[in-house]
Amino acid sequence: MNAKIRVMIVDDSALVRRALTDCLSRCPDIEVVGTAGDPYAARDKILQLDPDVLTLDIEMPRMDGLTFLKLLMRHRPMPIVILSSLSGPGSAKALEALQTGAVEVLEKPSGTFSSIEDHARLIQVIKAAAGARVRSTAVSPRGAPALSASAAPRPILGAGSRRYSAQKLILIGASTGGTEALRAILAQLSPDLPGLCVVQHIPAHFSLAFAQRLNELCQLEVREAVDGDWVQPGLVLVAPGGTHLVVEWCGNRYQARLNQGPKVHYQRPAVDVLFGSVLKTGAPSQVLAILLTGMGSDGAASMLELRQAGARTIAQDEASCVVFGMPREAIRLGAAEVVLPLDQIAGRIERFADASALHPIGVAAGTLS
């Protein structure tokens, strides 16, 4: 019989600590081994109780959660799930937490975690975090380019030098660990790529700050998608948190549409919804679809359909994933044409762009390898 996942809760609210304890204790695979009202109390309990996963609030007295997270990731790396308010300034702090090494960020419900949806999602995240690859912030993950927020993107090789059929499209899906994986990939890309659409499992109120942060780091224009946006070269559209993103073929180009359809794999936005929408456009053979690190299986089934329809497909390899869930399922199904470490995916995207250009540069049209 497998040992239970040992969880410790750090939050200054006694009500939240109780709600989290009640929620997690309903799962037979999880044991709440302790709680703490601030990082100073948590420090000693971590040494004493040796939890597998820590849940951590950001706004706390005496020492804020971000400062504590940075100390932990430097001296005692462990899987940490941030549970906090993500509206307003909280969004920027949540992004910093992910960059510092938090496995996942969840928005704290306004009430308790009593709803079936909140309960299921929290349990899923805790289980994924327990198996996540966590490294000291002093060490870059294998396959992950070391990039700081101020790191300069790669030199521009000639903005606007490549032209494409309007049907060319790049799709990327990601979940746990994906915000940093996307940052690592997009910051390396040239500005003259085919249009890109991204689904990152992300809470509402968080995706706008995430897209703005990527836009500051990238040569490509990155923005949160708005219903009716046209997909165009040099533009990355990020699905808003809490909203599905699909693409439709309208006349002679793709248009982004947003909807509040049912959650898929407990997710909205969902990768399967975006990937599946491309199958309806009649041009899946013109598409490159990529699945990055993340829990669960979202995107794998629709990626298989895309590959069977002629799309090029890439899955991130196990060694460079924070959580090898979505890519593993894609590989198991045979949906991944190529399996690559994180640090090779940007280069393969550039090869796809070269091969897709109306006047390819040094690469035979249609090749990906």
- Which residues are marked as active site? 175, 201, 298
Q: Which residues contact 303 (CB under 8 A, 6 or more apart)?
A: 173, 275, 289, 291, 311, 313, 315, 330, 333, 335, 336
C-alpha span between 78 and 149 (Å, rounded): 23
C-alpha span between 14 and 11 (Å, rounded): 7
Nearest to 275 by CA among 188, 134, 171: 171
| Buried-state track 193-210, b at ≥16 Cβ within 10 A, e below 16 | bbbbbbbbbbbebbbbbb
List the structure tokens of 170.
């790049």
C-alpha span between 132 and 342 (Å, rounded): 16
List the structure tokens of 54.
């820590």
Nearest to 81 by CA among 89, 93, 69: 69
Helix (H) or strand (E) holding 146: none
- In the block, residue with structure tokens 């019989």: 1
- What are the backbone angles phi and psi of residue 301, rounded to the nearest 5°? -65, -45
Helix residue ranges per DSSP H, the chain: 14-25, 39-49, 65-75, 89-100, 116-130, 178-186, 207-217, 271-279, 300-308, 326-333, 342-356
C-alpha span between 94 and 186 (Å, rounded): 20
C-alpha span between 298 and 339 (Å, rounded): 17
